[in-house]
């Protein structure tokens, strides 16, 4: 099958979250299964042109009922055999720091233009390459316009007449909602403003248009596929998702097990496997030392790696006088290691906690090495998400023998099995209510098990490490969805 992936972020070129990992790993798994996959994404300022090959000639892209011009670069996706990634080098749009925004301008003022250019360029690139996909697979709001364009502007062309579109929702919370004055930049006619689904209370909404206009919708875990159809989890779009639910599928993300594998991981101090799990202790000591904590194998280490945004439960963890992190560290014999960046108040509060608590250490920023070292060196991993479409870190944790303590939501509910104190079964600790008290109690329960039921803890670690989270499994499910899409194009 010929598949064109469209995404604003793809590992290792640009990443702000799990979406970037998913697109690249899924593409590699599909290539391995024999499909002809290509990826298109922007060439951001940080992606070095010198490491890429320039395609001959410019690309003319429809824009604002007119035309704009871009160069196109290409390279092979690392980790694949020969999977090409095409970079739209539109300097005015992408030649700057940041994918969607930067700290001073979190949502770039010209994002409608930027992502309209990306999506429109996809079709022009196909013409340039004389390669036409059977499947256009767009990811999140920033690529969803491609599916809308396919339905309203492109399908009448013979090259795209039998192309089906998939939109994967990696996070329903980000929708691309803008003033409708920008609508002409999409390249769509005003006549399609309502029919395409763009109209949203007098504004324009990219994701909503994608949800209405795509042939098939997927999201990244079965439980999240259910949750987004409810008022509580639907971010105002639950009605549309209920309406289209025969075409909505939840497929759990996989993990890049080449990169996240304690047996091969080059970023950790000591490699280990299920058989040599005792060597995990070397990573724990290394982490304690690196973070300036007391080096003591008997004290449980709780790791946290996250974007510091409301979705991740940061208020319930870190808000002054409210959050549970202070009480956990002040009253339990534990150590907490935090890696994250995001909202300024939260970064400041984490610095405060670090100054007050000798058993709380944090690094504010993005650090790939440290993220691996925390996974390898921690005993527990805390993830009290408000909602979690899939979540990667709890899966990394399981594979690294680090027990997840998570809220029962989305992909967390699908991947972590509750600990049973009687039998010792389970792979982690779950709670339902997102309150500081529930987090405190569940961490307390895990810490109790650590000190009093050590044999259970050891069994759980091994059970987690044996889990199969490979992308091959997910890729098979996507293949079935692609087949279904081709038979069910919404003309
Ligand atoms: P989301 O995509 O909502 O941020 P996921 O759990 O799906 O959440 O994916 C987050 C990814 O980003 C994981 O690979 C995680 O390790 C990584 N990550 C998040 N914050 C940091 C950070 N500060 N430093 C290093 N890696 C981080």
At 298-339, the pLDDT tens digits run 999 999 999 999 999 999 999 999 999 999 999 999 999 999
Can you name the CATH fold of 2-254+471-487? Rossmann fold (3.40.50)
Checking if the pLDDT of 30 tops 90, the result is yes
Can you name the CATH fold of 274-465? Rossmann fold (3.40.50)
> CA torsion angle for 329, 330, 333, 335 (degrees, to 10)?
30
User: Residue 140 in contact with residue 7, Cβ under 8 Å?
Assistant: yes
Q: Is 339 in the pocket of ligand 1 (CB under 6 A)?
A: yes
For ligand 1, what atom is nearest to the CA of residue 393?
Answer: 6
Angstrom distance (rounded) from CA 251 to CA 222: 6
State the pLDDT at residue 17. Answer: 84
The Å distance, Cα 292 to ligand 1 centre, comes to 23
Domains 2-254+471-487 and 274-465 share a fold: yes
Beta pairing, strands 301-308 & 335-342? parallel
Q: Which of 257, 307, 310, 367 to mutate to test the pocket of ligand 1 (most atoms within 8 A of CB)?
A: 307
Q: Is 343 left (phi over 0), alpha (psi -120 to 50) or beta?
A: beta
Q: What is the mean pLDDT of residues 456-479?
A: 96
The Å distance, Cα 306 to ligand 1 centre, comes to 5
Checking if the pLDDT of 179 tops 90, the result is yes
Give residue 18's pLDDT band: very low, low, confident or very high (50, 70, 90).
confident
Q: What is the mean pLDDT of residues 47-65?
A: 96
Q: Is 220 left (phi over 0), alpha (psi -120 to 50) or beta?
A: alpha
Burial class for 9, CB neighbours closer than 10 Å (0-12, 13-18, 19+): buried
For ligand 1, what atom is nearest to the CA of residue 17?
Answer: 2
Q: Is 113 in the pocket of ligand 1 (CB under 6 A)?
A: no
State the pLDDT at residue 40. Answer: 98
Q: Which of 7, 17, 19, 398 to mutate to test the pocket of ligand 1 (most atoms within 8 A of CB)?
A: 17
User: Residue 470 in contact with residue 254, Cβ under 8 Å?
Assistant: yes
State the pLDDT at residue 217. Answer: 98
The Å distance, Cα 78 to ligand 1 centre, comes to 20
Q: Is 18 in the pocket of ligand 1 (CB under 6 A)?
A: yes
Which residues, other chains included, contact 242 with Cβ-Cβ below 8 Å and sequence gap of 6+? Answer: 229
For ligand 1, what atom is nearest to the CA of residue 22?
Answer: 7
Token pair in block for residue 85: 């990634």
Q: What value, to the nearest 5°, has the Cα angle with vertex 140 and ends 139 and 143?
A: 65
Q: Is 362 in the pocket of ligand 1 (CB under 6 A)?
A: no
For atom 22 of ligand 1, the residue with the nearest CA is 366
The Å distance, Cα 127 to ligand 1 centre, comes to 36
Q: Which of 393, 404, 406, 411 to mutate to test the pocket of ligand 1 (most atoms within 8 A of CB)?
A: 393
For ligand 1, what atom is nearest to the CA of residue 388?
Answer: 3
Helix axes of 140-149 and 206-213: crossing angle, nearest 10 degrees: 50
Q: What is the mean pLDDT of the chain?
A: 97
Domain ranges of the chain: 2-254+471-487, 274-465
Angstrom distance (rounded) from CA 94 to CA 111: 10
For atom 12 of ligand 1, the residue with the nearest CA is 17
Q: Is 138 in the pocket of ligand 1 (CB under 6 A)?
A: no
Q: Is 233 in the pocket of ligand 1 (CB under 6 A)?
A: no
More confident residue, 474 or 103: 474
Q: Is 393 in the pocket of ligand 1 (CB under 6 A)?
A: yes
Q: Is 347 in the pocket of ligand 1 (CB under 6 A)?
A: no
Q: Is the bond leading into 93 cis (omega within 30 degrees of zero)?
A: no
State the pLDDT at residue 103. Answer: 86
The Å distance, Cα 9 to ligand 1 centre, comes to 13
Give residue 83's pLDDT band: very low, low, confident or very high (50, 70, 90).
very high
The Å distance, Cα 203 to ligand 1 centre, comes to 31
Angstrom distance (rounded) from CA 354 to CA 173: 30
HSE-CB for 281 with a 13 A CA cutoff: 10
Q: Is 368 in the pocket of ligand 1 (CB under 6 A)?
A: yes
Q: What is the pLDDT of residues 357-416, one digit of tens each?
A: 999 999 999 999 999 999 999 999 999 999 999 999 999 999 999 999 999 999 999 999
Q: Which of 305, 312, 381, 385 to mutate to test the pocket of ligand 1 (most atoms within 8 A of CB)?
A: 305
Q: Is 307 in the pocket of ligand 1 (CB under 6 A)?
A: yes
Q: How many residues appear in the chain?
A: 491
Q: Has this prediction a pTM greater than 0.75?
A: yes
Checking if the pLDDT of 259 tops 90, the result is no
């Amino acid at each position: 099958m010929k598949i064109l992936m469209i995404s604003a972020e793809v590992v290792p070129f640009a990443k702000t979250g799990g979406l970037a990992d998913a697109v690249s790993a899924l593409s590699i798994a599909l290539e391995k299964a024999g499909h002809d996959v290509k990826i298109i994404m922007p060439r951001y300022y940080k992606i070095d042109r010198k490491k890429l090959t320039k395609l001959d000639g410019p690309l003319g892209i429809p824009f604002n009922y007119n035309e704009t011009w871009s160069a196109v670069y290409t390279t092979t996706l690392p980790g694949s055999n020969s999977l090409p990634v095409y970079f739209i080098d539109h300097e005015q749009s992408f030649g700057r720091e940041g994918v969607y925004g930067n700290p001073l301008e979190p949502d770039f003022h010209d994002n409608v233009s930027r992502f309209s250019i990306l999506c429109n360029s996809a079709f022009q690139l196909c013409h340039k390459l004389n390669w036409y996909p059977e499947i256009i697979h767009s990811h999140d709001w920033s690529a969803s316009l491609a599916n809308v364009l396919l339905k309203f502007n492109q399908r009448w062309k013979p090259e795209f007449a039998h192309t089906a579109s998939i939109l994967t929702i990696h996070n329903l919370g980000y929708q691309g909602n803008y003033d409708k004055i920008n609508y002409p930049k999409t390249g769509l006619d005003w006549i399609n403003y309502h029919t395409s689904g763009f109209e949203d209370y007098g504004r324009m909404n990219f994701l909503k248009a994608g949800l209405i206009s795509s042939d098939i919708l997927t999201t990244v875990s079965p439980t999240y596929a259910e949750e987004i159809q409810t008022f509580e989890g639907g971010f105002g779009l639950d009605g549309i998702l209920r309406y289209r639910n025969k075409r909505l599928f939840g497929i759990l993300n996989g993990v890049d097990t080449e990169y996240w594998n304690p047996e091969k991981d080059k970023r950790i101090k000591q490699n280990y496997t299920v058989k040599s799990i005792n060597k995990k202790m070397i990573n724990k000591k290394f982490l304690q030392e690196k973070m300036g904590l007391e080096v003591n194998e008997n004290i449980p280490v709780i790791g946290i790696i996250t974007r510091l945004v409301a979705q991740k439960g940061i208020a319930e963890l870190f808000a002054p006088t409210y959050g549970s992190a202070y009480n956990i560290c002040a009253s339990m014999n534990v150590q907490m290691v935090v890696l994250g960046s995001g909202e300024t108040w939260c970064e400041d509060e984490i610095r405060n906690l670090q100054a007050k608590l000798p058993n709380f250490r944090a690094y504010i920023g993005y650090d790939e090495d440290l993220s691996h070292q925390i996974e390898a060196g921690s005993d527990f991993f805390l993830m009290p998400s408000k909602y979690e479409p899939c979540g990667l870190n709890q899966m990394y944790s399981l594979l690294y023998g680090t027990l997840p303590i998570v809220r029962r939501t989305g992909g967390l509910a699908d991947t972590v099995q509750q600990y049973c104190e009687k039998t010792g079964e389970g792979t982690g600790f779950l709670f339902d209510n997102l309150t500081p008290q529930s987090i405190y109690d569940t961490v307390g329960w895990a810490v109790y098990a650590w000190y009093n039921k050590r044999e259970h803890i050891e069994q759980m670690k091994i059970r987690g490490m044996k889990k199969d989270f490979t992308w091959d499994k997910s890729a098979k499910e996507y293949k079935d969805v692609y087949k279904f899409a081709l038979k069910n194009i919404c003309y």
